[in-house]
Chain A
Amino acid sequence: MHWFRFAVLVLLATVLQASLLADWNTKPDLLLILLVFFAVYCDTSDAIICSFVIGFAADLIGQTMGPQMISYGIFGSALAYLHRVIAIRQIPYQIIAIFITALLAGSVACLLNFLKGEPSPLAPLFWIALYSGIVGPILFLLSAWWMRIRKPGRFGRR
């Protein structure tokens, strides 16, 4: 796992999400796409670390600190374990994985935000999940090139 490249990629996605995409009403969630990417292409231990780190990055540009770190951590880890049983390599499966993860992680983050007294709207969640699913496979290619993954499963699955 190239941790320096990972850090640069996550920082870039965080800055883009908070600046270039910030004014869009409906937008893909770049960090969530990266969450699914690392859950699918990393070994399980690295995927767990990546999930929580990406969640922390999402919290930095989110409403409050904590909810997304927890929700991304849970669903990123779950996806990494699921990927040991069901391979998520083909594009349609990746789209579905991104869509479902976005809905579930977003719902849990909304719930935790609500419990923290900072309610956030649930309505945009479906569109964020949909757009993320559409943009996801393209970002997967760019991320694979940046992370020097020449073929799926380069990091191996242990």
Chain B
Amino acid sequence: MAWKQITVSRRMLFIWFMLAGFIVLLSPQNLTNKFQFAFTYVFRWPLTIGRNISLSAAKQQPIRDKDMVSRVEYERLLNHLANVTQQRDDAQRNIQNLSKMRNIPAWERTGFVLANVITVSVDRLIINRGKEDGLEKDQFVLADNSIIGTISDVGTRSARVRLFTDPASVIAVNIGNTDWRLMKGCGNNQAKVEMVKRKLDIDTKIMARKTPGFLDTPMIIGKVVRCEHNDQPLVWDITVEPVCNIQEIESIHVIVMNPSE
């Protein structure tokens, strides 16, 4: 049986593909995300292997002196942590006694979903947990005990994390004990908080603000790396960087408030 050869002019070919491109571009994002999640799910093994090779190559770099801590120093810090934890527990007991009411610590109402990072794109991660694991949009994501971003899209078995350094990210952060501002990502592993009323020192810790339904207690999100004068007098713009090395993250925790189990 002879096949009739279909000939399409180059112009028509180009127009058809452009049309397809615009349909994909203008389709709702929750629909088009399914393509990305499907690709990540189908190729999760080679993607994970490739990333592990990349991470192990990075870890083979010689350790710098400033990254090393002696055994004695390590023990000392561990003891300090134990002391601080004990002091905190004592303080919490005192508060309960004084207030005569049961004070449920924030983390007792919180569940953590452990997820592995499949791949990293520009200021975003794709993880191997999704709706089936209780993930929802806007939930906070932790790595090395610090917030690194929020869930931006959720698939059935995978989800995308938008890092707080992503230009599309906006997260409320505390400035001192009373003031709060919106922190906007600006790419290049940095975020900015504008119009701060006082100058902050370099390495000052920045805490994510309590968000009802998503975060019950302020948590560390980054540290100040630059504090510059704004164009307006008496206000400052601060630049914030993550407190952990996001490029080397292998697994993360998603904060799920009031988990069903």
Contacts and interface: CB of A to CB of B under 8 A. Distances in A.
A22 B54 contact: yes
Contact of A23 (B8, B20, B22, B120): B120
Contact of B17 (A44, A48, A59, A112): A48
A82 interface: no
Contact of A65 (B25, B54, B120, B124): B25
Interface string A115-130: 0111111011000000
B21 A55 contact: yes
B36 A60 contact: yes
A55 to B, nearest CB: 7
B134 to A, nearest CB: 25
Interface residues of B, number: 43
A114 to B, nearest CB: 9
B55 interface: yes
A124 B24 CA distance: 25
A73 B187 contact: no
Q: Which size class do A's interface residues fall under? A: 35 or more
B39 A73 contact: no
Interface string A1-37: 0000000000100111011111111000000000000
B37 to A, nearest CB: 10
Nearest to A71: B21
A119 B24 contact: no
Contacts of A21: 54
A67 interface: yes
A116 B26 CA distance: 8
A70 interface: yes
B102 interface: no
B22 A65 contact: no
A69 interface: yes
A60 B38 CA distance: 9
A23 B123 CA distance: 10
Nearest to A64: B29
Contacts of B39: 14, 60-61
A119 B247 contact: no
B187 A123 contact: yes
B188 A123 contact: yes
B259 interface: no
A77 interface: yes
B111 interface: no
B32 interface: yes
Contacts of A60: 35-36, 39
A19 B36 contact: no
A52 interface: yes
Contacts of A64: 25, 29, 32
A137 interface: no
A66 B21 contact: yes
Given A59-B36, A66-B21, 19 more contacts: A19-B48, A19-B51, A22-B50, A24-B54, A45-B13, A48-B13, A48-B14, A52-B20, A63-B122, A65-B27, A65-B29, A66-B25, A69-B21, A69-B24, A69-B25, A77-B14, A116-B25, A123-B188, A124-B187
Interface of B: 8, 10, 13-14, 17-18, 20-22, 24-27, 29, 32-33, 35-36, 39, 43, 46-51, 53-55, 58, 119-124, 167-168, 186-188, 247-248
Interface of A: 11, 14-16, 18-25, 44-45, 48-49, 52, 55-56, 59-67, 69-70, 73-74, 77, 112, 116-121, 123-124
6 contacts: A18-B119, A44-B10, A60-B36, A67-B25, A73-B21, A116-B29
For the complex of A and B, the 7 pairs showing the least CB-CB separation, nearest first, are A19-B50, A66-B25, A121-B187, A65-B32, A70-B21, A52-B17, A20-B50
